[in-house]
Chains A and B, each alone.
Chain A
Amino acid sequence: MNELSPIIIEAVKKRVTADFPELAGVEPSCRLKKVETAIAEQLHVSLPKKVQKVYVLTFRKEIETESLQLARVVRATVTGRGEVLKVTVSK
């Protein structure tokens, strides 16, 4: 499966807009992530036995308020099964 199901995308949108209502109506971009292992070997870290396929949904919006214009970027990392691993926001 190389594409994230639209049902999962809708669920993530709902979750993100609950915490960031200003992102309501923003269509996120969706990217499948590549897993790199070389870096783990360099630091002698054993990777989890089963690494799941993960996707990153990126929400982006310019927020204009008072005298300030701020780009809000929210990134949600999601497994193919719809588990949200993390949500991060630009500072």
Chain B
Amino acid sequence: MRNEVEIILSHKGNLIAKYGRENVFRIEEALGELKKCMANKGIESHVHWLESSAPSRVRKSIAELERRFIPRPINLLILGGDDVVPFFRLRNEVEDDDLYIPSDAPYASRLDNWTIPDRAVGRIPGVKEVGFILKVLGYAAKKHTRDTTGKKGFGYSTSKWKAASKSVYEAITPGGRLRLSPPVTKKEFVSKWLTKRTFLYFNLHGLKERGEWYGERAPQDPEDYRQFPVALLPELIPKLSGGIVFSEACYGGYILDKDMKASLALTFLAQNADCFVGSSAIAYGPYKPPSTEADLLCKYFLQYATKGASYGNALMNAKKDFVRKMLRIQGHLDEDDRKTLLEFNLFGDPGLNCRVMEEDDERVVTNHH
């Protein structure tokens, strides 16, 4: 029996307004199946329908729910997109184009300092058609009943950030091969590269209004390479059999008013990735080691997640480790550190985990610390 309790949180009125009553019955059936599968795995879960979807009221409800289960920690699964349970719109302190940061971080935090999470939080978003949410819920249920094996990863970076990306990727897969764009572009990309992988790591460029991610030519690359080639498109994502996806791209996790064609995050979920972690706004990182900002968060998250921590706990613990590290180095968090902590959201069931089976694997992972 796992110690943590999973709370599935949504707003029925908003779901009905979006999908219709009939389809909400189907969602409730899928939730029943998910709860059953979690119970078989020893996870206690509860569905809670919110009375109000105003973010501050949602946060208050979470605190009240949490008190019921003290001292057991809760995993929080938010069901629905921004139009069902809205993201917080947080102030952006960095001098860039973002007016605000869409974030689930306040739902994860007990205190008003939202940069440090206290709870494992994930969201199964929705698109216009109900099929997406049903599919992702169905996949999560199935995934609770079976272990993942395999230990291979996949890494894809802009050529310009090769050294920085290598430092992240090799911390998880020593000696692993990192694909670079350029020379790889959408034309050379082989969809099969993504299948049967434990984790998929992307350090590419992204734009708010576009669905694709881009590479960037390095100064030493041939001049006939395009400066920012299209590196990956939603239609290149094949059917997966799981996989933890982390994208450092700007707006890699920006899903407001988007459908699958316009979002690689949503496409990965629809194609059976276990989870997707990405940024809802402009993300930052170094162009060479050591890892900071998005690179550092990604490194910590993948280290936890590939060692078997639940994805929600992996992100929570990665954010705490990130804060500790930056405080020790700098003595403070700067604006882009804080933005990094607020803009990276987890999509998928936070209670899912990936147990990577290895012969000499004696690593022990504590889900809460």
Contacts and interface: CB of A to CB of B under 8 A. Distances in A.
Nearest to A34: B332
A29 interface: yes
B113 interface: yes
A89 B331 contact: no
B140 interface: no
A38 B327 contact: no
A8 B285 CA distance: 23
Interface in B222-276: 226-228, 248-250
B115 A60 contact: no
Contacts of A88: 284-286, 292-293, 336
Contacts of A38: 113
Given A43-B116, A87-B287, A75 B336 contact: yes
A43 B279 CA distance: 24
A8 B173 CA distance: 40
B332 A33 contact: yes
Interface string B274-306: 000001001111110000111000000000000
A73 B96 contact: yes
A84 to B, nearest CB: 12
Interface stretch (B63-71, B174-182, B202-210): B202-210
Interface residues of A, number: 36
Interface of B: 94-97, 111, 113, 115-116, 203-207, 214, 226-228, 248-250, 279, 282-287, 292-294, 320, 323-324, 327-328, 330-336
A77 B206 CA distance: 24
10 tightest A-B contacts by CB? A51-B331, A35-B332, A88-B284, A91-B283, A45-B327, A91-B250, A58-B95, A48-B331, A47-B331, A65-B227
Contacts of A29: 95
25 contacts: A19-B287, A31-B95, A33-B335, A34-B332, A36-B333, A42-B113, A47-B327, A54-B334, A56-B334, A60-B96, A65-B227, A70-B205, A73-B94, A73-B96, A75-B284, A86-B292, A88-B286, A88-B292, A89-B286, A90-B250, A91-B206, A91-B249, A91-B250, A91-B279, A91-B284
Highest count of chain A CB atoms <10 Å: which of B249, B279, B330: B330
A85 interface: yes
Given A47-B327, A70-B205, A88-B284, 20 more contacts: A35-B331, A36-B332, A38-B113, A39-B115, A39-B327, A42-B111, A42-B113, A43-B323, A43-B327, A47-B331, A66-B226, A71-B282, A73-B94, A77-B334, A86-B292, A87-B286, A88-B292, A88-B293, A90-B283, A91-B282
A45 B332 contact: no
A68 interface: yes
Interface in A37-57: 38-40, 42-43, 45, 47-48, 51-52, 54, 56
Contact of B327 (A40, A52, A60): A40
Contact of A43 (B95, B214, B324, B332): B324
Interface of A: 19, 29, 31, 33-36, 38-40, 42-43, 45, 47-48, 51-52, 54, 56, 58, 60, 65-66, 68, 70-71, 73, 75, 77, 85-91
A66 B207 CA distance: 15
Nearest to B248: A91
Nearest to A66: B226
Contacts of B335: 33, 56
B336 A45 contact: no
Contacts of A60: 95-96
B331 A91 contact: no
Nearest to A51: B331
Contacts of B205: 70, 91
Contacts of A36: 332-333
A86 B294 CA distance: 14
Contacts of A31: 95
